[in-house]
């Protein structure tokens, strides 16, 4: 124990960085456990869409969505979700909603908001479209409007 204390006192910057990483990791785990949404894999997402009429909700910007998105996905910006301006999703209120972004990180806030707005089955695609591309799954491009 004496060695730990000696290390902490002789390396304060490194010690603070280590403590910060541990706190961030713990808070991330607690946040994920308390979230009203689930984080799901690509296989789980495709099963939800195929077996339970789930809907992919792409929250990336319009340009990225047009360049390539999952077939049949609905495009809504996070700002629309925050303003509760989601008429395209109202008919899917009880269906599984899979929120998709580029990496899976920004989708979490939108998923939380959708859960607060009364959507009962909200999930986030783990690692987002990066994982989708790595699995060599198809994307479709939209025509420019």
SS3 labels along 4-33 = HHHHHHHCHHHHHHHHHHHHHHHHHHHHHH
Q: What is the pLDDT of residues 120-129, one digit of tens each?
A: 899 999 999 9
Are the beta carbons of 50 and 72 closer than 8 angstroms?
no
Q: What is the pLDDT of residues 93-128, one digit of tens each?
A: 889 999 999 998 899 999 999 998 889 899 999 999
Positive or negative: CA dihedral 69, 75, 79, 84: negative
User: What's this model's pTM, rounded to 2 decimal places?
Assistant: 0.78
Q: What is the pLDDT of residues 54-90, one digit of tens each?
A: 999 999 999 999 999 999 999 999 999 999 888 888 8
Q: Is 91 exposed, middle or buried (0-12, 13-18, 19+ CB in 10 A)?
A: exposed
CATH for 37-140?
A: 3.40.250.10
Structure tokens belonging to residue 94: 């009880």
Per-domain residue ranges of the chain: 1-34, 37-140
Average pLDDT, the chain: 90
């Amino acid at each position: 124990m004496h060695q730990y204390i000696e290390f902490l006192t002789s390396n304060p910057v490194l010690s603070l960085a280590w403590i910060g990483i541990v706190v961030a990791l713990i808070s991330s785990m607690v946040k994920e456990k308390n979230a009203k949404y689930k984080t799901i894999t690509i296989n789980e997402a495709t099963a939800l869409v195929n077996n339970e009429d789930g809907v992919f909700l792409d929250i990336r910007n319009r340009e990225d969505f047009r360049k390539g998105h999952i077939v049949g996905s609905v495009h809504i910006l996070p700002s629309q979700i925050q303003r509760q301006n989601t008429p395209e999703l109202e008919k899917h209120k009880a269906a599984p909603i899979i929120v998709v972004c580029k990496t899976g990180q920004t989708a979490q806030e939108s998923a939380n908001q959708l859960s607060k707005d009364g959507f009962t089955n909200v999930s986030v695609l783990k690692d987002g479209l990066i994982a989708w591309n790595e699995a060599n799954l198809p994307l479709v491009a939209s025509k420019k409007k």
